[in-house]
Amino acid sequence: MAGPNVLLIRTAGTNCDEEAAFAFTKAGAAVHPVHVRTLAAKPATLAEHAILILPGGFSYGDDLGSGVVMANELVQRLQEPLARFVERGGLAIGICNGFQVLVKTGLLPGTSYRKDGELAATLTFNDSQRFEDRWVTLKVGKSSSPFLKGAEGKLVEFPVAHGEGKFVARSESVLSRIVKENQVAFTYVTRDGGKASYPANPNGAQADIAGFTDETGRVLGLMPHPERHVLPWQHPRWTRDGLKDDGDGMFLFRNAVAHAQQA
């Protein structure tokens, strides 16, 4: 049986599209890369796909801030088609720059968080004031997201590579709601699962939040890169720790494909 269709949106500066496509292909999906302007010219393409991914990179050079230009492009040209895609049950994931884009469009943490056009959260400069490129340990949250099925409490290790990854909520009430409604997908922790401080939390994110979903759980964003750890030997300690069947990030892509096949 043919796997579900995945639409991979890319633009100038995207540089993690091949890794993302490989991960979804390995999970059994059919991946179709498309330039954002091509999609804007034919938004009906979204209806032909079950899963949407915004991969990492530096879209438009991040010249006005990470993800800002691409987020504005999506809002101006594709806001309604994207909303319909989510409403009909589509899955969407944004990784690193893709996460920044989703947050700055307002798709994360969700449309119900909007207040007088003001975004509910942002991803801003790391507390270290430097680009952070390292492996981190994450704990999977209680979210009911299809991406995270069966993984609550699991510890996973992914690499990060970003200069603007610090999650900051608009207000304490927004942060409290994201936590209370189990939208937190991943938190930074130490390797043994303890409370993180720098460098285990590489950017100073509030509540150590590394990724979260929208209200439906079908839209997920995270700063670390699961697509860079889908093969066990991609981890720098694989010769010491031994090979697993899959890299830690593979469960996200398998879960998404399985959910789309059952929908």
157: tokens are 């290790």
* Angstrom distance (rounded) from CA 250 to CA 22: 11
**Is 227 in the active site?**
yes
Structure tokens at 81: 């088609």
Tokens for 213, please give them. 């979903």
The answer to whether the beta carbons of residues 253 and 85 sit under 8 Å apart is no
Integer-rounded Cα Rg, in Å, for the chain is 17
Cβ pair 65, 163 in contact under 8 A: no
Residue 144 gets the label, from left (phi > 0), alpha (psi -120 to 50) or beta, of: alpha
Which is catalytic among the residues 162, 225, 235, 259?
225
Given the structure tokens 């830690």, which residue do they identify?
248
The two structure tokens encoding residue 238: 């694989």
d(C-alpha 18, C-alpha 221), whole Å: 18
Confirm if 204 and 166 have CB atoms less than 8 A apart: yes
Among 96, 157, 162, 259, the active-site one is 96
| Interior angle at CA 34, CA 24 and CA 13, nearest 5 | 90
**Residues 49, 73, 227, 259: which is the catalytic one?**
227
- Residues with catalytic annotation? 96, 225, 227
